[in-house]
Structure 1
């Protein structure tokens, strides 16, 4: 009898300890660079077909941000495989435990000439819609948030808008998401003296600061330069931002983020739609994906296959 040995990509105990200390792990390789370029050339064309997407593009498109492109893993086989990729899931479960949901995915494009993304943290993701999108049970919550795995589908360099992190800031929230922000896509936010040109998709994230005079300790920031096919895993509660895309002769920088929580976390509690960035999407066809383990809680809507009938390969 032949046994199939499942290869694992779990980080070492030392790597896990460093993740808890810094708030991030990586970059690490998910795909070979040539493989990633080849895949993206194919998939970018396929993703233009929205016939099976779960959100209506006409209702959701708003300014520079298109929330209709949330959760394309629910209709794309490649993205379905990607959020369940063992090189990602094994690292996530090493931190969150054996039973994990992917509750959202997002594309983050940055075109030549685009501004950077302002410093921010996310705990319940209520800052735009006013409704918590994830809620940890009090007995399980250490500091909340979600684990984000951000994969570079194209080069993420200093001059194309790479991510920036301030290590060790994930255990203290400097922003109050309950304060809410006003969507003002035409407002020009004047940068603080010494800052690079940054914004936040039509919002001013500084409106959420608990102390209006507080400034992020940017002198501690590190740049997360990545080649196509590399990824980084980090807590959404860690201070993070991105640089502007200042290289006019280079391609769009494209990142794809999968967001993960343990099954004990309530996803979109008492919520039927999401209002963000001047648009609204209905959650009637939405479901979180169990990427590893079992769900003994049962309080979240889930799906086991894409809208095209492809079964998610749970770990």
Structure 2
């Protein structure tokens, strides 16, 4: 870690100065009230459609070059590997919106691509992200950025308004087509008539609270649905499942030093970036499986095997759609 990146350093990312960023700041109070009332806000403008297409093409090209396990691993915490994802994580329009709900000091805790291929039968069950993250408080905000159209047909996220006011019990199903690491789902049924579809065009994003109940259904369209989820936390949050966890300072100061602050990638897939990424994934995997009892026929990931029915899942990231 660069000594300049110690807790207390001022992050270099300035607030947005462009017209769209100023518009977001003018609407901060409305955004904050909607977020507090519903537990989510959408659609918000991050980048234009052309930039979204460029990022999607970079991602697709990288996935074609990747081999074996490195392909799946590079989808998790890609902001530690790629400069173009790091730039998106620090985009002023996104940070201005997140600052409106979390405050001026922001850490990027993790990020991950969520991909549904055309006619993909996989789904994400109703869940709350923060239930499995081990954070001391749900001061967690996810920015979900659409890189392709997120429609009802393609399996966009659906969110339950007001569900962020209460932490709910979950059960672990390990269902074969569930994209979540444990197939976790809310123990009590949700009436889908109360859900709101999060419809996004490429370049738009949504924000949702760590306790907002959400799901997504299969992709019945002929196009891939690709989104990048970026999870931001306030620096005062702690990791309760481990003495060690990582984050990246993206705005303001970290006065608490609860997380090991990692440097951004100096170049795409540089040796130092790959090393930091592996370190972060190892800690994240340990946190996710702390206290998890091995089920019959389902080995812990530290055994070097993959639990049955888990193909295509990430074991470094249990939530979002």
CA contact (8 A) 2:16 2:93 kept: no
> How far apart in 2 are the matches of 1:96 and 1:24?
13
Q: Residue by residue, what CA displacement relative to the aligned partner does 1:248-268 show, whole Å, maximum 9, x if unpaired?
A: xx2210010000110001247
CA contact (8 A) 2:103 2:234 kept: yes
**Could you tell me which residue of structure 2 aligns to residue 265 of structure 1?**
237
> How far apart in 2 are the matches of 1:80 and 1:47?
17
Q: Residue by residue, what CA displacement relative to the aligned partner does 1:134-172 show, whole Å, maximum 9, x if unpaired?
A: 223xxxxxxx25210000011111111111111111111
Aligned pair partner of 1:116 in 123, 134, 139 = 123
- Confirm or deny that 1:235 pairs with 2:209: yes
CA contact (8 A) 2:139 2:234 kept: no
> Aligned with 2:112: secondary structure?
strand
> Aligned with 2:97: secondary structure?
helix
> How far apart in 2 are the matches of 1:30 and 1:149?
10
Please give the residue correspondences for 1:89-128 in structure 2 after superposition, counting only pairs within 5 Å.
Answer: 89-114=95-120, 115-126=122-133
Rate the CA distance shift 1:200–1:216 in 2: closer, same or farther, 3 A. Answer: farther
CA contact (8 A) 1:123 1:237 kept: yes
> How far apart in 2 are the matches of 1:155 and 1:236?
24
Q: Residue by residue, what CA displacement relative to the aligned partner does 1:36-90 show, whole Å, maximum 9, x if unpaired?
A: 1133223431455569xxxxx64x88xxxx4552101001011001011111101
Aligned pair partner of 2:257 in 298, 302, 314 = 298
Return the offset for 1:289: 0.8
> Aligned with 1:135: secondary structure?
coil
- Confirm or deny that 1:135 pairs with 2:107: no
> How far apart in 2 are the matches of 1:38 and 1:200?
26
Unmatched runs of 5 consecutive residues or more in structure 1: 52-56, 127-131, 137-143, 189-198, 273-282, 311-315
CA contact (8 A) 2:144 2:228 kept: yes
Give the TM-score normalised by structure 2.
Answer: 0.69
> How far apart in 1 are the matches of 2:250 and 2:190?
34
> How far apart in 1 are the matches of 2:60 and 2:239?
28
> Aligned with 1:232: secondary structure?
strand
**Could you tell me which residue of structure 1 aligns to residue 184 of structure 2?**
205
Rate the CA distance shift 1:218–1:68 in 2: closer, same or farther, 3 A. Answer: same
CA contact (8 A) 2:102 2:139 kept: no
> Aligned with 1:170: secondary structure?
helix
**Could you tell me which residue of structure 1 aligns to residue 190 of structure 2?**
216
Aligned pair partner of 2:54 in 15, 35, 38 = 38
- Confirm or deny that 1:226 pairs with 2:205: no
Aligned pair partner of 1:167 in 153, 158, 161 = 161
More helix by share: 2
Rate the CA distance shift 1:202–1:19 in 2: closer, same or farther, 3 A. Answer: closer
Tell me the matched-pair count. 251
Return the offset for 1:201: 3.6
> How far apart in 2 are the matches of 1:48 and 1:135?
38
- Confirm or deny that 1:246 pairs with 2:232: no
Give the TM-score normalised by structure 1.
Answer: 0.71
Rate the CA distance shift 1:298–1:79 in 2: closer, same or farther, 3 A. Answer: same
> How far apart in 1 are the matches of 2:30 and 2:74?
39
> How far apart in 2 are the matches of 1:268 and 1:46?
34
**Could you tell me which residue of structure 1 aligns to residue 35 of structure 2?**
19
Return the offset for 1:305: 2.4
> How far apart in 2 are the matches of 1:165 and 1:184?
21
Unmatched runs of 5 consecutive residues or more in structure 2: 1-13, 271-321
